[in-house]
Chains A and B, each alone.
Chain A
Amino acid sequence: MKVLNRKNLAILLAVLVAYGGIQAAIAARLVPPFYSVNLMLICVYVILATSLNLINGVTGQFSIGHAGFMAIGAYLSAIVSVKLHGPLGAAILAGAIVSAGVGFLVGLPTLRLKGDYLAITTLGVGQIVQVVFFNTNYVGGAAGFTVPRTVNWTWAFWLTVISIVIIHNFTNSTHGRACISVRENEIAAEAMGINSTKYKVMAFSLGSFFGGIAGGLYANYMYLIQPTTFSFLTSFNILVMVVLGGLGSMTGSIVGAVVMTVLSAYLSNFPEWRMVVTALLLIVMMLFRPSGLLGTKEFNLGFLGKKGESRAA
Chain B
Amino acid sequence: MGHVLREGLQQVVNGLSMGSVYALIALGYTMVYGIVKLINFAHGDVMMIGAYVGWLATSRLHMSFVPALLLAMASCALLGVIIERIAYKPLRNATRVAALITAIGVSLFLEYGNMLVASAQVRSYPPVLPSVSYKVGGVYLQYGAIVIFGTTIILMILLTLTVQYTKIGKAMRAASFDKDAALMMGVNVNSTISATFAIGSALAAAAGVLYGAYYNTIDPLMGIIPGLKAFIAAVLGGIGIIPGAVVGGLVLGLTEAAVSALGASTWRDAVAFLILILVLILKPSGLFGKNVREKV
List A residues at the B interface (Cβ < 8 Å).
62, 64, 109-110, 112-113, 115-117, 119-121, 123-125, 127-128, 131-132, 134-135, 187, 232, 236, 239, 243, 247, 271-273, 275-276, 278-283, 286-287, 290
Contact = CB atoms under 8 A, between A and B. Distances in A.
B276 A131 contact: no
Interface string B103-124: 0111111011101100010000
B101 A239 contact: yes
B296 A275 contact: no
Given A116-B100, A275-B108, A287 B91 contact: yes
B73 to A, nearest CB: 25
A125 B228 CA distance: 13
Contact of B87 (A109, A110, A113, A283): A283
Contacts of A278: 108
Interface of A is mostly: helix
Contacts of A286: 91, 94, 98-99, 101-102, 105
A280 B109 contact: yes
A300 B108 CA distance: 33
Interface of B is mostly: helix
Contact of B96 (A115, A273, A275, A281): A115
A239 B108 CA distance: 13
Contact of B273 (A125, A187, A282): A125
B112 A290 contact: no
A132 B271 CA distance: 11
B277 interface: yes
B90 A287 contact: yes
Contacts of A115: 96-97, 100
B98 A125 contact: no
A259 to B, nearest CB: 17
Nearest to B225: A127
B270 A272 contact: no
Contacts of A119: 39, 100
B266 A131 contact: yes
Contacts of B211: none
A287 B101 CA distance: 10
Given A128-B270, A272-B120, A110 B109 contact: no
A135 B120 CA distance: 26
A64 B41 CA distance: 12
Nearest to A188: B296
Nearest to B109: A279
Interface in B177-203: none
A204 to B, nearest CB: 15
A275 B39 contact: no
A235 to B, nearest CB: 10
Contact of B280 (A121, A135, A273): A121
Nearest to A191: B296
B277 A125 contact: yes
11 contacts: A62-B100, A116-B38, A120-B228, A127-B270, A128-B269, A236-B104, A272-B112, A279-B106, A281-B105, A283-B102, A286-B98
B109 A276 contact: yes
A207 to B, nearest CB: 16
Given A272-B112, A273-B116, A124 B87 contact: no
A290 B98 contact: yes
Contacts of B111: 275
Nearest to B113: A276
Nearest first, the 3 closest Cβ-Cβ pairs linking A and B are A124-B273, A282-B105, A279-B109
A82 B192 CA distance: 59
A197 B270 CA distance: 26
A121 B231 CA distance: 11
B277 to A, nearest CB: 6
Contacts of B231: 120
A232 B232 CA distance: 16
A113 B276 CA distance: 12
Contacts of A110: 277, 280-281
Nearest to B220: A272
A112 B224 CA distance: 26
B95 interface: yes
Contact of A282 (B90, B102, B115, B280): B102
A173 B224 CA distance: 40
Given A109-B277, A128-B270, A282-B104, 4 more contacts: A117-B280, A272-B120, A286-B102, A290-B94
B4 to A, nearest CB: 25
A247 B280 CA distance: 26
B289 to A, nearest CB: 13
A187 B228 CA distance: 31
Nearest to A123: B228
A8 B109 CA distance: 42
A281 B102 CA distance: 10
